[in-house]
Structure 1
């Protein structure tokens, strides 16, 4: 019995060691690819893999042609110290199997514009939205200037009786790619820590999402007329204001140059 166990171990141990080495090899290359991906885009923080998932099919552009391939989705904890406080961004990044075979090598076009990076003939690069929204949301949350911007909108809206308990949130427009946002002067979060909320709202990359605390009001709000009243006495940033109420279809109002526009 002992002999048989010894033989079994003798056969399986090399296989276990080989699989362990392959796993370490793939993990190291994945980590290096992820680090390189963020570093070439100005993100100077640390990245740590926290999990792995599978995407059946993801379409990316290569030489202006759509190509569907299978990808692994790496869940990432991005860490960066901003204003003496360690901030975490939980995000994800898809990597193709070829990225696990080699350490990260930046393609020549990665020193060019973001647009060229998107259409690189050297390497299929994940779409910028794969890592964009999470960083934009973090900037909105932790930048005091952004919070003041949101508070100013809340104050202006709360001058109307029916909007007193309104909750204001700034949200990225779905599928808006990160490279369309204009970087600020700070290098934090890849330069997006101090991007302009005002400009992004005007350019329809962000929206002002409005809601009420649960069960705080059952009254149907006419967003158009309410914002008209607000604009008589206050200024509101240009952009789309979207009210979600009572599980109905969202009400949308577009403000441009402190006036409501009919689109």
Structure 2
């Protein structure tokens, strides 16, 4: 479910597009398809209750994951909560669903309602004790963070069940599967001729084998002819299950997406998965 007040239309579109992009890169390998749910597109007109209660029943209760975002508004109050989006976040939390909460750290439009902005800041302060929230600078930044969050969610979903003709359903788990979390750090790198400090930025992706067995003959490569990345680490003969290893890379000029393709061999057959690390 994509949850938010009405002032983040471009961000809502970006999150939906991120979900579709995740499906293109991962659905075939993971046997999972993610379906975006937005009240303005997917809710069914229905009488018999407050609109927020109906959105809760159709959206929150039927979703596996909730992505919520705010910019300059908290939203309109409901009979049960300070805003509809806040109610959706609380309801998903109470149900034990993964909730990814994001706040914009960009500039606030001059015409923003000051009361709404104050209420949002108060809500944000409350959320500091409820867990870890993210901040985004623009829709593209938000989409990148959401893709990483979805990787994490799907890797930690309960194992699917497969019907066995000889007995009851049995759990199915992946022998080898990978997720990635990008990282970077800015370090001093000498001084200019005028005595001003120079800096360099190191980039890497923490790649984790979340499968049940060690991966063999693991290789890393970029994807696309115009990839903006040059990998420093190329692979390893054995990547143990449950282990995390950094894959270092350098960013260069290029129009492609930041994707690391990890390839491994199992029983003489090569498999691969694309990890978005932008």
The structure that is strand-richer by fraction is 2
TM-score by length of 1: 0.25
- TM norm structure 2: 0.24
| Structure number with larger C-alpha Rg | 1
